[in-house]
Amino acid sequence: MTQGSPQGSTQEPGPDRSGRTTADTVLDLFEQQARDTPRNHALIAGADSLTYGQLDSRANRLAHHLIADGLPPGAVVAVGTARRTEIVVALLAALKAGGAYAVIDVESPFAGQRQLAALNPYVLLTDAAHHARLDDGSALHVIRLGAEAAEASARSTEAPARPEPGATAAVLFTGASFPRAVPVGHARLLAAHQAWTKVVRPVPEDRHLITQSPALTPFAAGWTGALCSGGALVVPERTPWTPEGVRRAIEAEQVGVVHTDPAGA
């Protein structure tokens, strides 16, 4: 279920650093917002908050780190951490580096291991605690976000000259008892966002609350809905959600758009 502002529209894309005018991907739309409104709130995760400029810079640094690590175009970057801020930075970085992202279920180590086995990713971005929980003894290539933070923070904050993206933008997992991995292309992700904006008509003043787990498919609709329309993405560090919890979060964060399921409505 998604609720939104009754009026408003997203901005038309402007030229990027190369001078092109483009909106071929949701990443293009996010980067346009970062150029146009770098001081606006982009991400609110509990006590953590980032502006569009800060979020873009952090994602650029990590993208450069992935490229230096040898990430091939179109390769899958698995994201396995509970911190919502790091998840959003990592998925944007994967796209900026020319890869595809997949968020892993870290609440259930067994489920997370099954997802990693199904994905066969180029790399897993994680932290020390979740690395230990997700490690099944395989020779999975891992970048530990905390351990390599100093090296990544020394990278450029400018957007990398990313290669042509692969066919897949993300690998999303369904919410079934046995989640199924679903590859989603750049065109499909963009089309879904554009169709959503025609119905909801979000405005940059909106704050978007997502109650779905980052490992599930609806999270993609939530983050693109917020960050590609200039709004603020609200992702408190809490699960599961109850209707009363959703109501309190709406009031506390002055939320105007809610991305939830019937159980949280």
Residue 11 binned pLDDT confidence (cut-offs 50, 70, 90): very low
pLDDT at 183 over 70: yes
Q: What is the 3-state secondary structure (H, E, C) of the chain?
A: CEECCCCCCCCCCCECCCCCECCCCHHHHHHHHHHHCCCCEEEEECCEEEEHHHHHHHHHHHHHHHHHCCCCCCCEEEEECCCHHHHHHHHHHHHHCCCEEEECCCCCHHHHHHHHHHHCCCEEEECHHHHHHHCCCCCCCEEECCCCHHHHHCCCCCCCCCCCCCCEEEEEECCCCCCCEEEEEHHHHHHHHHHHHHHHCCCCCCEEEECCCCCECHHHHHHHHHHCCCCEEECCCCCCCCHHHHHHHHHHHCCCEEECCHHHC
More confident residue, 147 or 57: 57
CATH number assigned to the domain with residue range 2-264, chosen from the 4 options 1.10.8.60, 3.40.50.880, 2.60.260.20, 3.40.50.12780: 3.40.50.12780
pTM: 0.86
Tell me the domain boundaries of the chain.
2-264
Is pLDDT at 198 greater than 70 in this prediction?
yes
